Amino acid sequence: MRFIEFGPEKKQVSVIGVGCMRIAGLDDTKARELVDTALDAGINFFDHADIYGGGRSEQIFGRLFAADPSLRDKMFLQSKCGIRNGMFDFSKEYILEAVDGILSRLQTDHLDSLLLHRPDVLMEPEEVQEAFDELYKAGKVRAFGVSNENRFQMELLKTAVKYPLCADQIQMSLAHTPVIDAGLNVNMADAPAIMRDGGTLEYCRINDMAVQCWSPLQTGYFQGVFLNKEEYKDLNAKLQEIADEKNTAPDVIAYAWLLRIPAKMQVVTGTSTPARVAAAAKAADICLSRREWYDLYKAAGNRLP
């Protein structure tokens, strides 16, 4: 497993993470198997959000911690807040309330990282700073970040927020590459040249922020995975070819493609199947060549200028 340094405390956090959105339906025994499999594979990064399963995903982890308190110290535990009843809410009052609920459900006294969950147009940076300040000084949150934000939204936050933004969690996969496309098609009059994100990837690299890729096998916005999809037959053929050469599986190569980008890349897997989590961990040990990386990018239907 490979690790990045995360946040002011320079925590060693695995480049592969377990996304906990889909674990709400697991019983405690299966959830413990998933956690143990991840830890045995060197994965220590577990990503939650207060809305996952309506809070049930966090409650499951809370029961695991209650049954075995030693588990908590083996993890880098992250959660997110800000999505509320059909709107977004970054008010100080709600952030504080949300974090208290998260900690209660998780049965822990702190989060290693808290992300603001999607942008809130009505955000007041001063309120966010006040909330972050209370949470940090109370020992409830060790590091802060955002999700799905562009460089200007992060810059706006930083007009008041004094704590470093340590991560931006964005949708990114071989079949969803707008953060890459515009950078390859600068000043061109075609669709890939449209900058949809404001240079998020470059901004995170400049500011030493982790780029956490959610839905790393997804095509579009919750339109299913691209693996074995006829629409992506060229991509799947290339993934299989490289996987065969490296004695691994196509999904592992798809994760390795994201990790090849020279930034603080992290892949947040969405599976709740232990075997798939164990397989995903192998991506950390694969370094694709430049040729392999670009061949996969083109096989996904992209044209280089």
DSSP state, 224? -
Q: Tell me the C-alpha distance between 57 and 77, whole Å.
A: 13
Instruction: Report the DSSP pairing between strands 87-88 and 165-171.
Output: unpaired
Joined together, the tokens standing for residue 151 give 């460089």
Q: Tell me the C-alpha distance between 31 and 38, whole Å.
A: 11
The angle formed by the CA atoms of residues 120, 54 and 214, to the nearest 5 degrees, is: 60
Which contiguous run of DSSP H or E holds residue 295?
A: helix 290-299
* Identified catalytic residue from 52, 232, 255, 297: 52
Joined together, the tokens standing for residue 206 give 């400049």
Instruction: Specify whether the CB–CB gap between 14 and 2 falls below 8 A.
Output: yes
Residues 6+ apart with CB under 8 A from 55: 101, 105
| Beta-carbon count within 10 A of 74 CB | 14
Q: Tell me the C-alpha distance between 302 and 305, whole Å.
A: 10
Residue written as token pair 């460089």: 151
52 catalytic residue (yes or no): yes
Joined together, the tokens standing for residue 182 give 């515009």
Helical pair 92-106 and 125-137, crossing angle rounded to 10 deg: 40
Active site residues: 52
